[in-house]
Amino acid sequence: MDNFFTSIPLAEKLLEKNLTLVGTLRQNKPDIPPVMKPNKLREKYSSKFGFCGNMTMRKPEVIQYYNHTKSGVDTMDQMVRTYTCKRRTRRWPMVLWHNVLDVATLNAFTSYTAQHPGYMGGVTNARRLFIKELGKELVMPHMRRRMEGTSHLQTHITEAMERCGLKKVSTATTQPQEGQVKRKRCKICPTAKDRKASSWCSKCTSPVCKEHKHVVVICEACMH
């Protein structure tokens, strides 16, 4: 692991399950003993006695193991940077939350492709398409709840929802709905006229005045 994930409590939890980890720790971590923290005298001592001609002091085995197996961490960091939701912010909880989303999305893609090896075979941007579909599925319940719970949504919002495959079932009539008293400005009239309307279009649910609404008259004989 790299320093973002490595911690002493995590190592102790993994050890309870007979698992070990190798990772890096930042110098300011409180779990690091003082004897292991950088020291000017220790650095001077190492530079004086750590070299002998062209021979250098051999690296500890744990460092060699980390350098040999750290490719997985580097690959994850690289993949996360390719498609990330991170934004510049000074709020550290948001930074942590963005990283959680990026790593969770990568893990979801890895797990799904492991269970479905033939998923988008040969497509170079399969992970991008997966993230797009995942985001769509996550926001779909919210969009459906908003569409069903809001009587009059703005046109550009409903159009965006329709592009995502969510169609609004029109239940509007030419009369104001129950509980709605306040009239709204006609959608077709110029804003300067500020003409209020008490009727709504039965298709797009937009308010329309008497000038721009069309009433279909049917006699009683034709109705039967």
pTM reported for the whole predicted model: 0.50
Task: Supply the pLDDT for residue 93.
Answer: 92
- The confidence score (pLDDT) of residue 14 equals 94
DSSP percent split of the chain into helix, strand, coil, nearest 5: 45, 5, 50
Which helix (H) or strand (E) segment holds residue 197: the answer is: strand 196-197
- What is the reported pLDDT for 176? 47
Distance (Å, whole) CA 173 – CA 152: 12
What is the bridge-based pairing of β-strands 184-185 and 55-56? unpaired
Phi, psi angles (nearest 5°) of residue 177: -75, 165
Residue 46, pLDDT score = 52
What pLDDT, on the 0 to 100 scale, is given for residue 178?
45
Query: Is 22:69 a contact under the CB 8 Å cutoff?
Result: yes
The residue whose two tokens read 């060699």 is 64
191/35 Cα distance (integer angstroms): 74
pLDDT at 169: 61
pLDDT score of 42: 59
The tokens for 7 are 């911690």
Predicted confidence at residue 104, as pLDDT, reads 92
For the chain, 224 residues long, give each residue's pLDDT as a single digit of tens. Answer: 777 778 888 999 999 999 988 888 887 888 777 777 777 665 555 554 444 443 344 567 777 777 777 666 677 888 888 889 888 899 989 999 999 999 999 999 999 999 988 888 778 888 999 998 898 888 888 888 888 877 777 888 888 888 888 876 654 444 445 445 467 777 788 877 777 777 777 667 777 777 777 766 666 666 66
